[in-house]
């Protein structure tokens, strides 16, 4: 029987019943009397054979092989020993540049085979060696190997049966992130969530939880992880769901409510309730902190440690603020909402029905209600929403304000260009007293501020704080307070001055709410800039108001970084200043030493006593009295000490320098006696008060030239101070003028608005007048038709009565006058009573005397008279007295009573109703005459 890996055996050993060994050659037969004995022999034979083989293998030494060869060796024990030796070499290496790292950097695939080792014991040691390689090898080891090892670790090591392998696999992933960044590592881990084996998916979720727990969501981008959570919650395996819950809870520790829009809608209600219960347990916990730092962060801390503890405190403060900066906007992907806006949005928004406008803004809100909006052209939409702020329906205003808030929060910086379009209409609408509308408008203003800054909004805020409407002023005040609390940038000095002035004005208001608001504004500003910087802005306030401001200062909470923090910088400045001053002192001493030998050369006697008192005497007493004793005494002494005393004040003039050059000749004659007498008699009273200001220069060792320069610099400083003060006054004047111009502009805008409204009212009246004129024309047309029918009836009646001589003596054929009305031509007063019915109607309407509604052109009597006249079957009028048999009238006939016209004439005393009654009477009389004529004709015929 042959052994492929061990030595060849040509003989077989057999135990017989007598326990004798029999050797057989050539034939592979086992002679035995018991089958159990044969099986026992087979087991012992194989044990003997493999024992001999392993003994031979152990005897061979593989430690001399290079580590790369041992990593790929066929024997697992050789590979295991190679992993152990590699880990020792890495841990004992002095630096990242050690040669032990080079073979594995040149061939990163060695680590892939180590991670995927088929032997679990060797695999465990391979993972340990990889951790040591990453820990001691540096960033290059991470970058070159992560593409070969992360995916095999996720597939084979995280779900290993050995606890040490799983623990070291997670450690390797953490080290990969620590060496560089988390993005590529998380990207390679996420495909493990799609593994078909539930155990692997649960292990992958656990690894992600450990990564988020150690590094936090500022290092690890949570967006790709949040996108995969719904799929994990929908898995059938309970272990996967449990690990998904742990991961969601860990993310909630860092993100809070900002994470919910990413996946909350894809969960079942029961899962949401379970997660809410888990979230409630950790809401009271303090904000989490990053437990493991990246190598870049560690290097930054080490470099900052040399700068002092203050930098570490600032970094600690920033780290404390980091968790609160994450919100849904940072996590969400931009959404193009313009495609979701209904196509008839603008048509509905311009509708005259408030329900259509409400439906339009509701549909817009549904489209805009996303965490992040893709930046597009929303100019037309914002203009439409700005017009909605003037809507008479408060429901439309409220919903439009919510749309503005959602759009501003979704666009953030992209909404800044629309601020001028919507901000002023919103602030104009703050006059609304309803709480729901005011809250919606305040939310819209907060959204606008979130997209811009306090400096951008301050101009409008300052303008509306002086509005006449108390509601507008109060709403603007509350908005300013919210801005000061939430801004993260300290306002500029001009902005602070403007805010403080507005707050002071509010302190003098009659309303307690406005006074408290002004104090809160000042207290919040004080919290931002500090008490010391706020002191000049509180000048002029009484103690009661200052106390109120101090109370709000103690309770205010702001997010702006306090500028007084850089105050420690001046502490380092004084040493530098001392060094500079110390460096100048030797120069001054050298200059004094150099000037000392020169001084005795010019004056032969008493240089020192003459020099010290001469400087104040010549410089200060010589100026007010240039022609007195001071002008006679200095000539002898100016040569001794004049260069230092007279140069600072007479250098700009120039001429006083000339006497100093001409003065030396008189010195030997009378300079000593006159100089001493002049100083002792003329200057005892003036010298003592002038010595203290001039005594420091000699103590500092300054020479006369340096003192002159110092005086010149002081004079220049005074001039600059005066110029600065003048410029401040001019600036205050300009600011006052700007404020006045703003007020005038506001007044002009109000006047323009009133003019526009009046023009629109006039246009409305004009439209109504036109409609009334059209109605009047229709009435006139109907009257013309009625009169035409009357004319035809009269002509027909005359034609019937002419042959028999039955014509009316007093009624003649009507004629068509200028006004379009038929009147009797035989009337003597027809020309006097002509008047257009249309003009009469228009005058009555304009004066408010409309005798009938618009939809009724004629009175009932007139319509009845017209119908009877046209049919020829009307009854006689009530006012007609009757007719005799011979044709004579018993009463006053129509021709006698009103021969001039068949229609009522306008009169100043009669109203419109009487005129229509007269017209009805005339019509009824005409019908009666026609009936009489017909009756006579019937009697005359045979």
Most confident of 27-41, 318-332, 390-404: 390-404
pLDDT at 480: 95
Regarding whether 143 and 114 lie in a shared domain, the answer is yes
Q: Please give the backbone phi and psi of residue 22, each rounded to the nearest 5 degrees, phi first.
A: -120, 135
The stretch 600-613 carries a mean pLDDT of 39
pLDDT at 225: 94
Regarding whether 292 and 230 lie in a shared domain, the answer is yes
d(CA 158, CA 654): 93
Indicate which CATH number applies to the domain containing 365. Answer: 1.25.10.10
Regarding whether 282 and 200 lie in a shared domain, the answer is yes
Helix axes 419-428, 470-486, angle to 10 degrees: 130
- How many CB atoms within 10 Å of residue 385? 26
pTM equals 0.52
pLDDT > 80? residue 314 = no
Structure confidence by residue, pLDDT tens digits, 560-596: 865 544 444 444 444 443 333 333 344 334 333 333 3
Asked, for residue 284, whether it belongs to a domain, the answer is yes
**Which pair of tokens denotes residue 815?**
């004629």
Regarding whether 404 and 287 lie in a shared domain, the answer is no
d(CA 623, CA 648): 12
Regarding whether 538 and 433 lie in a shared domain, the answer is yes
Q: Please tell me the total count of domains within the chain.
A: 3
Regarding whether 202 and 169 lie in a shared domain, the answer is yes
Regarding whether 419 and 456 lie in a shared domain, the answer is yes
**% of the chain at pLDDT higher than 90:** 48
Least confident of 678-692, 787-801, 918-932: 678-692
> Three-class SS of residue 849?
coil
187-194 contact pairs (CB < 8 A, 24+): 187/224, 188/146, 188/147, 188/150, 188/151, 188/154, 189/150, 189/154, 190/224, 190/225, 190/228, 191/151, 191/154, 192/154, 192/155, 192/158, 193/228, 193/231, 193/232
Asked, for residue 460, whether it belongs to a domain, the answer is yes
Range of the domain at 53: 30-59
Regarding whether 381 and 290 lie in a shared domain, the answer is no
pLDDT at 364: 95
pLDDT > 60? residue 659 = no
pLDDT > 60? residue 346 = yes
DSSP 241-299: HHHHHHHHHHHHHHHGGGGHHHHGGGS-HHHHHHHHHHHHHHTTSPPP--SS--HHHHH
Asked, for residue 818, whether it belongs to a domain, the answer is no
Place of tokens 């649960």: 202
Most confident of 69-73, 259-263, 852-856, 928-932: 69-73
Regarding whether 83 and 36 lie in a shared domain, the answer is no
pLDDT > 70? residue 459 = yes
**What Cα–Cα distance (Å) separates residue 872 from each residue in 41, 789, 884?**
149, 11, 21
Structure confidence by residue, pLDDT tens digits, 726-768: 898 888 889 888 988 998 898 899 889 889 998 989 999 999 9
Beta bridge partners of 14: 22
pLDDT > 70? residue 942 = no
Q: How confident is the model at residue 169 (pLDDT cuts 50, 70, 90)?
A: very high
pLDDT at 209: 96
Regarding whether 500 and 367 lie in a shared domain, the answer is yes
Q: Which of 233, 265, 298 delimits the end of a domain?
A: 298
**% of the chain at pLDDT higher than 70:** 64
pLDDT at 307: 62
pLDDT at 588: 38
Structure confidence by residue, pLDDT tens digits, 225-255: 999 999 999 999 999 999 999 999 999 999 9
Regarding whether 352 and 246 lie in a shared domain, the answer is no
Structure confidence by residue, pLDDT tens digits, 680-693: 444 444 444 444 44
Q: How confident is the model at residue 701 (pLDDT cuts 50, 70, 90)?
A: low
Q: Are 463 and 420 in contact (CB under 8 A)?
A: no
């Amino acid at each position: 029987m042959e052994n492929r890996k061990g030595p060849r055996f040509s003989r077989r050993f057999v135990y017989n019943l007598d326990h004798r060994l029999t050797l057989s050659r050539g034939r592979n037969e086992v002679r035995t009397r018991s089958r159990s004995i044969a099986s026992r022999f087979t087991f012992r034979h194989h044990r003997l054979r493999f024992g001999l083989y392993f003994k031979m293998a152990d005897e061979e030494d593989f430690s001399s092989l290079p580590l790369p060869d041992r990593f790929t060796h066929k024997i697992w024990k050789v590979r295991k020993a190679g992993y152990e030796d590699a880990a020792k070499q890495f841990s004992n290496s002095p630096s990242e540049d050690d040669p032990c790292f080079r073979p594995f950097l040149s061939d990163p695939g060695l680590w892939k085979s180590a991670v995927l080792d088929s032997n679990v014991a060797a695999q465990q040691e391979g993972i340990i060696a990889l951790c040591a390689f990453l820990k001691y090898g540096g960033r290059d080891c991470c970058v070159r190997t992560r593409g070969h090892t992360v995916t095999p670790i996720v597939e084979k090591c995280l779900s290993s049966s050995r606890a040490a392998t799983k623990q070291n696999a997670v450690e390797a992933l953490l080290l990969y992130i620590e060496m560089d960044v988390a993005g590529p590592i998380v990207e390679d881990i996420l495909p493990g969530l799609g593994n078909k084996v539930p155990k692997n998916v649960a292990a992958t979720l656990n690894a992600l939880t450990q990564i988020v727990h150690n590094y936090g969501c500022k290092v690890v981008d949570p967006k790709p992880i949040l996108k995969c959570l719904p799929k994990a919650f929908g898995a059938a395996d309970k272990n996967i769901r449990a690990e998904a819950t742990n991961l969601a809870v860990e993310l909630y520790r860092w993100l809070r409510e900002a994470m919910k829009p990413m996946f909350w809608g894809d969960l079942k209600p029961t899962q949401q309730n379970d997660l809410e219960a888990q979230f409630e347990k950790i809401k009271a916990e303090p904000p989490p902190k990053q437990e493991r730092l990246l190598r870049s962060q560690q290097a930054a801390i080490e470099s900052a440690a040399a700068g002092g503890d203050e930098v570490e405190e600032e970094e600690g403060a920033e780290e404390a603020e980091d968790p609160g900066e994450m919100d849904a906007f940072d996590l969400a992907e931009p959404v193009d909402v313009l495609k979701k806006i209904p196509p008839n949005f603008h048509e509905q928004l311009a509708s005259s029905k408030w329900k259509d406008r409400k439906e339009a803004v509701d549909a817009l809100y549904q489209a805009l209600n996303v965490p992040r909006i893709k930046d597009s052209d929303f100019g037309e939409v914002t203009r439409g929403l700005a017009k909605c702020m003037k809507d008479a329906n408060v429901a439309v205003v409220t919903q439009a304000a919510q749309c503005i808030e959602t759009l501003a929060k979704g666009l953030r910086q992209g909404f800044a260009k629309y601020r001028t379009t919507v901000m002023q209409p919103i602030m104009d609408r703050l006059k609304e007293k309803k709480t729901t509308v005011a809250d919606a408008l305040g939310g819209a203003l907060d959204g606008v501020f979130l997209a811009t800054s306090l400096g951008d909004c301050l101009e409008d805020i300052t303008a509306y704080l002086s509005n006449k409407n108390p509601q507008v002023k109060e709403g603007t005040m509350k908005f300013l307070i919210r801005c000061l609390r939430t801004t993260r940038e300290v306002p500029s000095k001009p902005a602070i001055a403007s805010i403080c002035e507005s707050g002071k004005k509010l302190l003098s208001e009659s309303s307690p709410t406005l006074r408290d608001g002004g104090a809160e504004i000042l207290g919040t500003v004080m919290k931002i800039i500090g008490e010391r910087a706020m002191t000049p802005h509180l000048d002029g306030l009484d103690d009661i108001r200052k106390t109120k401001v101090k109370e709000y200062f103690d309770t205010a909470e702001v997010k702006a970084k306090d500028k007084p923090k850089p105050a420690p910088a001046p502490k380092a400045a004084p040493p530098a200043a001392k060094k500079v001053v110390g460096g100048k002192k030797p120069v001054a001493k050298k200059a004094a030493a150099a000037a000392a030998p020169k001084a005795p050369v010019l004056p032969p006697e008493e240089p020192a006593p003459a020099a010290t008192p001469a400087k104040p005497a010549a410089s200060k007493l010589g100026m007010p009295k240039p022609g007195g004793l001071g002008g006679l005494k200095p000539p002898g002494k100016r040569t001794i000490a004049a260069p230092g005393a007279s140069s600072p004040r007479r250098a700009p003039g120039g001429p006083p320098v000339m006497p100093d050059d001409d003065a030396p000749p008189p010195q030997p004659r009378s300079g000593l006696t006159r100089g001493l007498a002049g100083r002792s008699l003329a200057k005892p009273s003036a010298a003592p008060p002038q010595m203290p200001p001039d005594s420091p220069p000699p103590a500092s060792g300054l020479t006369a030239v340096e003192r002159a320069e110092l005086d010149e610099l002081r004079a220049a400083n005074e001039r600059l101070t005066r110029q600065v003060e003048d410029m401040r006054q001019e600036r205050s004047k300009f600011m006052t003028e700007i404020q006045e111009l703003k007020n005038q502009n506001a007044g002009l805008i109000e006047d323009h608005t009133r003019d526009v409204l009046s023009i629109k009212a006039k246009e409305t009246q004009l439209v109504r007048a036109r409609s009334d004129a059209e109605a009047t024309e229709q009435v006139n047309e109907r009257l013309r038709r009625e009169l035409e029918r009357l004319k035809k009836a009269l002509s027909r009646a005359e034609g019937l009565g002419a042959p028999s001589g039955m014509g009316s003596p007093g009624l003649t054929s009507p004629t068509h006058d200028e006004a379009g009305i038929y009147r009797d031509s035989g009337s003597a007063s027809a020309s006097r009573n002509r008047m257009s019915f249309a003009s009469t109607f228009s005058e009555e309407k304009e004066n408010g005397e409309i005798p009938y509604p618009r939809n009724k052109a004629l009175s009932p009597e007139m319509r009845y008279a017209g119908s009877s006249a046209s049919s020829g079957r009307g009854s006689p009028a009530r006012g007609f007295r009757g007719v005799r048999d011979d044709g004579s009238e018993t009463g006053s006939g129509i021709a006698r009573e009103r021969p001039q016209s068949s229609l009522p004439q306008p009169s100043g005393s009669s109203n419109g109703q009487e005129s229509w009654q007269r017209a009805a009477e005339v019509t009824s009389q005409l019908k009666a005459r026609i009936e009489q004529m017909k009756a006579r004709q019937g009697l005359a015929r045979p």
